[in-house]
Amino acid sequence: MFNLSGTYALFEKVNLRLGVDNLFNRAPPLEEVNNGLIGSATLLPGGSFSNQYDLIGRRFYAGVSMKF
């Protein structure tokens, strides 16, 4: 997974931030899990390790910070 983000100072007290998560829109890898059963099981994305990867796909975001 590759994320890209950046910040730009628009004015002295105003910053703009932009970013893209999962820039190339790649699916997360499959995981091999040994859960105590004979052999191992292959889990699809969203299985017991879904907290390791973002399963939504590509996501864009933007924000502004201002100092008073």
pLDDT digits (tens, 9 = 90+) for 10-66: 999 999 999 999 899 888 766 655 555 555 455 555 554 445 566 678 999 999 999
* pLDDT tens-place string over residues 56-68: 789 999 999 999 9
The predicted structure's pLDDT at residue 54: 60
Q: Under 8 Å CB-to-CB from 41, ≥6 apart: which residues?
A: 32, 33, 34, 35
The predicted structure's pLDDT at residue 20: 95
Q: Total structural domains in the chain?
A: 1
Four-residue CA torsion sign, 36, 42, 47, 48:
positive
Domain membership of residue 11 as a residue range: 4-66
Instruction: For the chain, count helices (H), then strands (E).
Output: 0, 5
The predicted structure's pLDDT at residue 26: 84
**Model's pTM, two decimal places?**
0.60
